[in-house]
Amino acid sequence: MGESPFRDDLFAGARVLVTGGGTGMGLAFAQTFAAHGAQVAIASRNAEHLAAGAATVTDATGTEVLTHVVDVRDAESVAALAATLESEWGALDVLVNNAAGNFFAPVAEMSENAWRAVVDIVLDGTFRVSRAFHPLLRKGRDASVVNIVANYAWGAASYVAHSGAAKAGVLNLTRSLALEWASHGIRVNALCPGVVPTEGARANLFPAPEMEQMITDTIPKGRLATADEMALQVLWLAASDYVTGECLVADGGQWLAGNPFYTLGKLVAD
């Protein structure tokens, strides 16, 4: 992790759950919370990713990580995760809804299942996990939810329309929950990260090296984002106790300059 502007005990005693936390950005979120004193749990579909991710966090921070296999598309599986954290911690202070799925596919050729798979993970999954953890968040200290969106959630998301529609829904849900849960002591915010070259993003969204350069060319900052710097934005939202219903855009100015997924998607999918 790079240098943090935050005190290393900023989240001492906080209990944090990151979905999709076994790999990529989610793992960086978990590690950064742990590095600032939090107890962390990571949950995803893949037990091997979770075990490797937990070991990475423990090696880096000395913090033991709770792991739990979950499929955010399955309400029973989500309920089992909530029951485990209730018996382990009794409350939750920070929920990061990071689990996602995405692939290029033009709408005219997209099957019902392809649409459903992404919307079910991203939008319905965020609803399901947030609702299931509402009772634990109510018992949390300065509790908050951070939902991960994308800068194609406003404007258009050609060739990733399932993801765009789902992320737009998550953004609206963020604001609705911010109002519904303000009086319950739970803040709800969204982070719109920049493009981070995780293994998953490379495999699914920009498989060829020249594509990475094409994306970089659309970012006014002149470089891709790092998972660690995105993690600091999540911590900032979780720590900002008068901020709710906000979407923090940390994309190096990319959305103001244009959307690269149109050009890339055309290359990959047309």
Please identify every residue annotated as catalytic: 152
The least distance separating ligand COA from the CB of residue 218, rounded to whole angstroms, comes to 16
The least distance separating ligand COA from the CB of residue 121, rounded to whole angstroms, comes to 6
The region of 78-86, 102-110, 187-195, 232-240 touching ligand COA under the rule CB under 6 A is 102-110
Q: Does 205 bind ligand COA (CB under 6 A)?
A: yes
- Name, in order, each residue with C-beta under 8 angstroms of 66's C-beta and a sequence gap of 6 or more: 39, 40, 41, 42, 84, 85, 88
**Contact map string, positions 82 to 101, toward ligand COA, x by CB under 6 A:** ------------------xx
Listed residue (174, 139, 138) closest to 154, CA to CA: 174
The least distance separating ligand COA from the CB of residue 198, rounded to whole angstroms, comes to 7
Other Cβ atoms within 10 Å of 73 Cβ, number: 18
Structure tokens at 37: 């004193």
Closer residue to ligand COA, CB minimum distance, 105 or 227:
105
* Rounded alpha-carbon distances, angstroms, from residue 247 to 75, 78, 183: 27, 25, 20
Q: Does 204 bind ligand COA (CB under 6 A)?
A: yes
- Name, in order, each residue with C-beta under 8 angstroms of 169's C-beta and a sequence gap of 6 or more: 119, 122, 123
Q: Does 171 bind ligand COA (CB under 6 A)?
A: no
Report 104-133 residues binding ligand COA (CB under 6 A).
Answer: 105, 111, 113-114, 117-118
Closer residue to ligand COA, CB minimum distance, 101 or 252:
101
Q: Does 200 bind ligand COA (CB under 6 A)?
A: yes
Structure tokens at 164: 């765009």
Closer residue to ligand COA, CB minimum distance, 105 or 248:
105
The least distance separating ligand COA from the CB of residue 80, rounded to whole angstroms, comes to 19
**Alpha carbons 203 and 72: distance in angstroms, whole number:** 22
Structure tokens at 62: 């000395």
Other Cβ atoms within 10 Å of 72 Cβ, number: 27
Listed residue (56, 30, 57, 60) closest to 43, CA to CA: 30
Q: Does 236 bind ligand COA (CB under 6 A)?
A: no
Q: Does 267 bind ligand COA (CB under 6 A)?
A: no
**Alpha carbons 193 and 250: distance in angstroms, whole number:** 5
Contact set with ligand COA (CB under 6 A): 100-103, 105, 111, 113-114, 117-118, 200-201, 204-205
